[in-house]
Amino acid sequence: MTRFKRCLVLVPLISILLAACAPSAPPRTTTVASVDVGRYLGTWYEVASVKQFFSIGLVGSTANYSLNPDGSIRVFNSGNYFTFDGPASEIVGSAIPVDASNARLNVAFFGSNTNQGQGNYWIVDLDPDYQWAIVSDPTGETCFLLSRTRTITPELRADLLARAASKGVNTSNVTETLQPPA
């Protein structure tokens, strides 16, 4: 294995280990009171986010949630690098609620997953009709604006960013995620 390939493997592993070993700080964000998992399932389009190391350059990003036979939630994230017909990026993981609200979940893409801890996927705001969602984490440093449609109006985007900020989410680095035309 070349040195470059080893670094590509080690950087994500180091990030995961540091996150797992970090002391648990009090949450900065809050979540919705409850989520109906059945209504949350299906396809969500990422219309904006704080880009993570693995999502830089991704366009057409979607998350598809469905139930696994064991009751956990199957997470299928996909997109393409740089252009809508660019190299595909796909990853499958699982989500497990950490409390009865279903608004705080642990999402894992590698290894086993549990319902322990405060969760790393927090639904901080949600449209009553499940047409948009704002997702972050307890620190408020991540932000994903999700929609059931590929695009949203500038007014809705501004409203969602204001809602996220009012819930303790750092929105300073949120950028648009390009989606293909409908």
Residue 23 belongs to a domain: no
Residue 21 belongs to a domain: no
Mean pLDDT in residue range 128-136? 98
- Supply the CATH number for residue 38's domain: 2.40.128.20
Number of domains in the chain: 1
Residue 13 belongs to a domain: no
Mean pLDDT in residue range 153-174? 97
User: Percent of the chain beyond pLDDT 90?
Assistant: 82
Residue 137 belongs to a domain: yes
| Confidence band for 146, pLDDT divided at 50, 70 and 90 | very high
Range of the domain at 103: 32-176
Residue 7 belongs to a domain: no
Structure tokens at 134: 């704002």
75-89 burial, b for 16+ CB within 10 Å, e for fewer? bebbbbeeeeeeeeb
Residue 26 belongs to a domain: no
